[in-house]
Amino acid sequence: MTSDDGTVDPGVWRALESRATQGAKEARVAVLVQLVPPAGVPEGSGDPGARLTTLERETEELQRDLMEHLDRLGVTSPPRTLALANAVAVELTAEQIRSVAQRPDVRRIVPAEPKHVAT
């Protein structure tokens, strides 16, 4: 069930295996699909709202092909765009993960796990 090129984090495969052993018919796992290149925050001292709008437009353009690919794969959970990271949060099956991992615009697929940051 693994990917040899390192695009898919091993934690993704472990999460899928765990769901499959729990009896899920078609196991899905929440992942972050990180794209290349990372989106950049426009430089300048202009209006922060305008800079954010520019970043969101740039990210939407960078992610358009991936979103269409997810639609063709029949992804049922709505993907969520993460503009600052140029990533997409989505639930995928093993087959869908393999397909997405082969795309040249995908840098990494990692588990979408909540992280606790100690302060």
Write out pLDDT tens, residues 9-37.
999 999 999 887 877 678 899 999 999 87
Q: What pLDDT is attached to residue 24?
A: 64
Looking at residue 18, its pLDDT comes to 87
Full residue range of the structural domain in which residue 74 is found: 10-40+49-111
CATH assignment of the domain containing 105? 3.30.70
Domain contains 107: yes
Which stretches of the chain drop beneath a pLDDT of 70? 1-4, 24, 38-45, 115-117, 119
pLDDT of residue 42: 59
Whether 2 is in a domain gets the answer no
DSSP the chain: ---TTS-B-HHHHHHHHHHHHTT-TT--EEEEEEESSPP-PPPSSS-HHHHHHHHHHHHHHHHHHHHHHHHHTT--SPPEEEGGGTEEEEEE-HHHHHHHHTSTTEEEEEE--------
Structurally, how many domains does the chain consist of? 1
